[in-house]
Structure 1
Amino acid sequence: MNFASLPDRRAAHDPDGAAVSDGRQSLTNTQLLDRVRAAARQLQDLGIGPGDVVALKLTNRIEFVLLLFAAWRIGATVTPVNPSMTDVEVDRQVKDSGARLLVVEDHAAPVTDGTAVLAVGALAKEGVSSDHAPHVDSSALALLIYTSGTTGVPKGVMLDHANIDAMTEMGRLSLDIGPADRCLLILPLFHVNGIVVSILTPLLAGASVVIAGRRFDPHSFFDLVEQERPTFFSAVPTIYGMLAALPDDVRPDTSSLRFGVCGAAPASAELLNRFEARYGFPLVEGYGLSEGTCGSTVNPVAGPRRAGTVGLPFPGQEIRIVDAEGTEVGPGTDGEVLVKGPNVMRGYLGRPEETARVIVDGWLHTGDVGHLDAEGYLTLVGRSKDMIIRGGENIYPKEIEDVLTGDPSVLEAAVIGVPDEKWGEVVVAYIQPRPGVTVDLTTLRELCARSLTGFKRPTGFFVVEAIAKNAVGKIDKVSLRAAHVAAS
């Protein structure tokens, strides 16, 4: 099933059935198709066609979904842009992706030389009498998802229609989603999780979607659940921790919910069990990454869930654990997690060497460390060497270090993640000044504010005479992190 034609299929099967809503507007399947066709015609009138890239710098709203399907209908590619990014970061992604059009909120239009800008309020709403058949090509590029790399330079993960078709069908089967389901979207749509788990998979299954338009608020979340009656939603451990910490007298009606999906960062078995005991619906923990079109393992909804593990492989995927020499190891032995399946990305845009390093003989080398048990459940024990996970957001220190060392007073910078009760981890920077120079921390904070999205900015700066090194002269982040925690 190619998603370019999904609105047509839904409208033909159930014209008046609910499709998607966002608190401001609600669309039936027929209305969804009409709006998608109108937006597709507008994109064509703006010169967008097969192979072109459309960048969406939007908050969670119906128009994101409309533009997603409209772009695919005419054979174009979508690259989601985090709305909280600085102009520098937006410009970099737009240029790297080669986007010909950037769609923005009505109140903000960053400067992007050579790229047309469309305010979302100007998106066409009127239907068209006729249009061309949807552009159906499984090999066409569907999504360009940007993820920070160990080089510090964000990379475009190329996902084609075959990738998302495979991933959504795997998700439909594993989570047992059908027409009676209703998904509540609370994660951002600039992440592949929000797009795939909370939009595409339920729409593929004939279900409906409710988009929470406002920023997540634990105090109003269950009011929304009681009002919209969703059957499932997807969130990160930080969100579940906030909900679990609500006062004891908060006793919402959660009877509509079959389950919640927990992913993007490790969650403790204690949190998962405590949450289910309090609110009466299970959390199924999963694991995946953008390079694998979102998910690779998940605990069964109906079968045995093993808290503390990230579950079993999705149907159609294989998981292998290998040692440092690349030899597969047996159950219970830690090693690097490798993933294989039709969900594995096409590669990194314009980076064939990096692609060749992470995809070898069809196996995606995740850089994460874990082990399988005898029944095939995956437990993660570590992750990519330096990556920080703050509230489900992946942060690679090199990007932040490059910004800091751009200040002439900084000789060297080491960025680490340190434990935080609310966010799981927060960013901390250690700074070594150039000889005879004093570091101005106000200047560094201003530099970070100009160059980095808010969640990437260090919450603490520590100026030291020298940053610890290991035996081969590399910054020893293990000892740096341990010393920081011990001193806290």
Structure 2
Amino acid sequence: MKSIYDQISPQFNVASYFLEKNLTNLADKTAIYYKDQTISYAELYANVRKMASLLKDLQIDWENRICIYLPDCPAFVYAFWGAIWIGAVPVAINVSCKVSDVEYMLTDARAKLLITTKSLYDGLSRKDSPFLKEVLLVDDVIPLESRLSHYVEETEAANTSRDDVAFWLYTSGSTGRPKGVIHLHHDMVVCAETYAKNTIHLTEQDVIYSVANMPFAYGLGNSLYFPLYVGASVVLSDAENVFDVIDDIHRYRPTVFFGLPFIYASILAVDDIAPLHDDSVRLFISAAEQLPPTIWRKWKERYGKEICEGIGTTELLHIFLSNTPGDCRPGSTGKPVDGYEIKLLDSEGNELPPGHVGDLVVTGESLMQGYWNRHRETREAICGESMRTGDRYYKDEDGYYYFVGRNDDCFKVNGQWIIPFEIEDALLRYADLLDAAVIPEQDERGMVMVAAYVCPKANDGKNTHLEQELRKVLRSKLPAYKVPQRVYVIEKLPRTSTGKIDRKRLTATRGKEMPI
């Protein structure tokens, strides 16, 4: 049987493929819900082609990189697909990124064009990238649709190949400067077929809602190309908090909800004042970081539905290891998605049997071409057709995989390995907390110890004895060396632009928080 890659024509433009596949039968169907707007598949197609003409007028050509620094909105969709349509390379930048990182990405990508809003552009302290020739501002003051109305659908799709560069995404930069991840025209087809269609079984009857933004690889699939692949509808949201998310669910009644672990925890935390009526949602999904088993069980108990957890990376574009609907195991990341080969290797490269912890290595056709201008990092990450993800896992006899920790998150105390995720889940299970993070910290003697940062559901000044209470509870549940020696109460944990706990920032600011 041919692989998905081999089934794709050598001459292939992924934008025209995704945008034209629904025109015959679904032209009048709503493709995008955004605020009070509804955009049909026919309107989406027309606006992308008009956007392609606008980009041509701005002297954007094959392989030129354009940075799209926009919130999730129709303009993002038009710009992304419009760039690929003409053979240019969109570079998506998350609006949650630090300004210094945004400025770095603009220069690192050597972007010829920046598409953004006036407020985001005004927020940049440096606007002098030597490669930037044009800035296109689109917002409520200068709506993109008004510019596009002057164009007709004339620009034909570029005659690209399945192996041409299609787009870039930047990593979250949690372990250093963000890295530009280069993806090719065939990669989105692979992920849509293997995961969206064959693993979670999206269909044209679905309405999709994702809390992950589109510049994040997880969100890009959820909101940009999965819906088009199966003919579904998608909700693009400007939700700023958990209450907005709940309101959106009640308003748009999605059937599939792509969430993040801390969003599920937050929904549970406000259930008494803003209960979620989830009768429309048939499938809840979680990715980006490990979902604590405690949150999974509380969700199942409260709502009677599973959370289908998976793991993906920017480098592999979307989820390659996943639970499947109706067969989810709390605490597990599931089994390999069909089309991906997963191995656990020891430090010498030997494959490990069930029950043994090793480095997660993934082989799949959506693997990035490489990191932009990062030869050494690319060589370290990729070996042939496989990639070391930096995650440590073990699998059970049934073939389910279990997350142990990131290589750079685990640490030793008195010669014993500490796995932060294990202690974090224990904190969430036995205390009334919204969130928790564990990192190493040095005591006055320079000895490494366990430090916990916790976020109570109600930080109302009544947490004076929380450290003693947590330590007392955990002593009966965990070995002594795993019990946090310091506990800090903070309002919320710092997170990266992709929603992961920013342990680097916690480490840099430790002791400056609010110790009990």
Superposition TM-score tier, normalisation by shorter sequence: 0.7 to 0.9
How big is the shift at 1:420?
Answer: 3.2
Aligned to 2:364: 341
Pairwise CA distance, 1:135? 4.1
2:237 paired with 1:212: yes
Post-superposition shift, 1:134? 4.8
The answer to whether 1:80 aligns with 2:92 is yes
Match of 2:118 among 89, 93, 106: 106
Instruction: Kindly report which structure 2 residues correspond to 1:196-345, keeping only aligned pairs within 5 A, or say none.
Output: 196-215=221-240, 217-248=241-272, 250-302=274-326, 304-345=327-368
Question: What is the SS of the residue equivalent to 1:139?
Answer: coil
Tell me by how many angstroms 1:250 deviates. Answer: 4.6
> Does the aligned pair in 1 maintain the 2:169–2:217 contact within 8 Å?
yes
CA distance in 2, matches of 1:133, 1:197: 24
The size of the alignment, in residue pairs, is 416
Alignment match, 2:212: 187
Residue 365 (structure 1) aligned with residue 388 (structure 2):
yes
Mapped to 1, the partners of 2:393 and 2:451 lie a distance apart of 20
SS at 1:75 equivalent? coil
Task: Tell me the equivalent position of 2:181.
Answer: 157
Q: Does 1:376 align with 2:399?
A: yes
1:170-214 deviations in Å (ceiling 9; x for gaps):
122111001101101222222111111232112211101011123
**Which of these residues, 3, 12, 23, is aligned with residue 14 of structure 2?**
3
Q: C-alpha offsets along residues 70-97 of structure 1, whole Å, 9 cap, x if unaligned?
A: 1111111111112244443222111111
Matches within 5 A, 1:85-164: 85-109=97-121, 110=124, 111-113=127-129, 114-115=131-132, 116-121=134-139, 122=142, 123=144, 124-126=147-149, 127-148=151-172, 152-164=176-188
Superposition TM-score, scaled by structure 1 size: 0.78
Query: Is the Cα contact below 8 Å between 2:342 and 2:360 reproduced in 1?
Result: yes
Taking a change above 3 Å as real, the CA distance of residues 346 and 137 of structure 1, as seen in their structure-2 partners, is same
> Contact between 2:211 and 2:260, CA under 8 Å: does it hold in 1?
no
- Asked if structure 1 preserves the Cα contact closer than 8 Å seen for 2:214 and 2:221, the reply is no
Q: Which runs of 5+ in 1 are unaligned?
A: 398-413, 424-447, 465-483
Q: Which residue of 1 aligns with 2:485?
A: none
Match of 2:454 in 1: 420
Match of 2:479 in 1: none
CA contact (8 A) 2:311 2:320 kept: yes
How far apart are 1:272 and its partner, in Å?
A: 0.8
| C-alpha distance after superposition, 1:234-255 (max 9, x if no partner) | 1111000000112336544312
**Cα contact 2:323–2:329 (8 A) shared by 1:** yes
Higher alpha-carbon deviation: 85-94 or 337-346: 85-94
Residues 89 and 149 of structure 1: is their aligned pair in 2 closer, same or farther, counting only changes over 3 Å?
closer
SS at match of 1:285: strand
Listed as ranges, the gaps of 5+ residues in structure 2 are 1-7, 411-419, 425-436, 440-447, 458-493
TM-score, structure 2 normalization: 0.74
Contact 1:235/1:260, CA 8 A, preserved across alignment? yes
- Cα 1:56–1:249 change in 2 (3 A) is closer
Aligned mates of 1:151, 1:60 — CA distance in 2: 26
CA distance in 2, matches of 1:310, 1:458: 26
Q: Between 304-313 and 164-173, report the one with greater CA deviation.
A: 164-173
The CA deviation at 1:293 is 0.8
Shift of 1:33: 0.9
Q: Percent same amino acid at aligned positions?
A: 27
Letter in 1 for 2:315: E
Distance 1:371 1:459 in 2: 27
1:353 to 2:376 alignment: yes
* Cα deviation 1:425-452 (Å, max 9, x = unaligned): xxxxxxxxxxxxxxxxxxxxxxx9xxxx
What is the CA-CA distance between 1:418 and the residue it aligns to?
4.7
Contact 1:297 1:313 in 2 (8 A): yes
The answer to whether the aligner puts 1:52 opposite 2:64 as a matched pair is yes
> Is residue 238–residue 422 contact of structure 1 (8 Å, CA) maintained in 2?
no
SS in 2 for 1:265: coil
Contact 1:234–1:261 at 8 Å: present in 2 too? Answer: yes
What amino acid is the match of 1:213? D
Partner SS, residue 296 of structure 1 = strand
Distance in 1, Cα, partners of 2:14 & 2:300: 34
* RMSD (Å) for aligned C-alpha atoms: 3.1
Give distance in 2, aligned partners of 1:336 and 1:326. Answer: 9
Task: Quote the offset at 1:9 in angstroms.
Answer: 2.4
Q: Distance in 2 between matches of 1:151 and 1:228?
A: 37
* 8 Å Cα contact 1:171/1:197 also seen in 2: no
Question: For the residues of structure 2 that align with 1:44 and 1:212, how far apart are their CA atoms?
Answer: 29
Alpha-carbon spacing, 1:258–1:361, altered in 2? closer, same or farther (3 Å):
same
Over residues 38-85 of structure 1, what are the superposed CA-to-partner deviations in whole Å (9 max), with x where a residue is unaligned? 111001111111111110111121111111111111111111112244
Deviation per residue, 1:87-112 (Å, 9 max, x gap): 43222111111111111113232313
Q: Which amino acid aligns with 1:266?
A: Q
CA distance change for structure 1 residues 362 and 268 in 2, over 3 Å: closer, same or farther? same
Q: Which amino acid aligns with 2:29?
A: G
Q: Deviations over 1:454-486 (max 9, x none)?
A: 97755974589xxxxxxxxxxxxxxxxxxx99x
1:13 is displaced (CA, Å) by 2.8
Say which is worse superposed, 77-86 or 64-73, in terms of deviation: 77-86
